[in-house]
Amino acid sequence: MHLPAFRIMRISILIVLVVSISLLSVLFPASAKPATFDQDFRVTWSDSHIKQIEGGRAIQLLLDQSSGCGFASKRQYLFGKVSMKIKLVSGDSAGTVVAFYMNSDTDTLRDELDFEFLGNRSGQPTTVQTNVYVHGKGDREQRVNLWFDPSLAYHTYSISWSHSQIVFSVDEVPIRVFKNNEARGIPFPKSQAMGIFSTLWEADDWATRGGLEKINWSKAPFYAYYKDFDIEGCQVPGIASCPSNLNNWWEGPAYKELSPLDARRYRWVRTNHMIYDYCTDKARFPVTPPECYAGI
């Protein structure tokens, strides 16, 4: 029996579509939007202080005098983009820290990419601290005062990670860029997969004005809220070509450098909202770290 040409073409197109959809589901297994908490995450400590809301599409974290809490992704990823919408602790949050970070979960040679949101006294700006650990070496803190009140509504915080650069963004506005300068002898995280972690905890020995502002437990409990968990990247273990295949989407032109618009936004943040940069801290670093001369 001979099938008409148009039927052969339709069957071929259908086969291509099925194969393409199957391949995408392997490459991006956790990219469904919106994901529920249980799909991608697990509680790491004090499960009594983490509550799922909105049918599991959002969660509430709680800090009181008995405990803080934390959660982590069920899987690890190598390159891609991770985003979460977070509503931070409201009111007098001095001494509290909400952390959202990626970590290789290794010991002395860990890689880590940090967002840390430092609590404040009511009416003061909220500071976000970023840090980059590569092969166990950190001490690369930068601090930016947010240009809005992050406790009034959800805002999107994301980490984009490719072979070329790491970008920390707030509502798609870059606030930190760490470029790959291995050609200049500067290590770059590219070989260790990282999980996604978040915590709400007390750190009043350093979090607010260097520890001068202590936590006011009469304001407890403190709450932070998360939703729209979005992970797009290479799940490890996964397809063997993921770590080295430079044809993956996260190695495209948009992830090699900032667009002209994003570059302008980045300069605006650094000019108007940056309050600390380890690169200019001569007390800590009499000799400027080498990456500070490399366009970081």
Enumerate the active-site residues.
Answer: 112, 116
Ramachandran category for residue 105: left, alpha or beta (phi over 0 → left; psi -120 to 50 → alpha): left
Order of strands across the sheet that contains 76-87: 50-53, 58-63, 222-236, 76-87, 155-161, 165-170, 173-179
Cα separations (Å) of 50 from 92, 113, 114, 147?
Answer: 21, 23, 21, 28
In the numeric block, which tokens belong to residue 187?
């290590």
| The 3-state secondary structure of 92-115, one letter per residue | CCCCEEEEEEEECCCCCCCCEEEE
Tell me if 78 sits within 8 A of 233, measured CB to CB. Answer: yes
Single-letter amino acid, residue 227: K
Measure the CA–CA gap between 287 and 285, rounded to whole angstroms.
5
Tell me the residue length of the chain.
296
Tell me if 95 sits within 8 A of 208, measured CB to CB. Answer: yes
Give which of 23, 75, 15 is closest to 239, Cα–Cα.
Answer: 23
Location of structure tokens 């009499």: 286
Peptide bond into 243 cis (omega under 30): no
Measure the CA–CA gap between 237 and 251, rounded to whole angstroms.
19
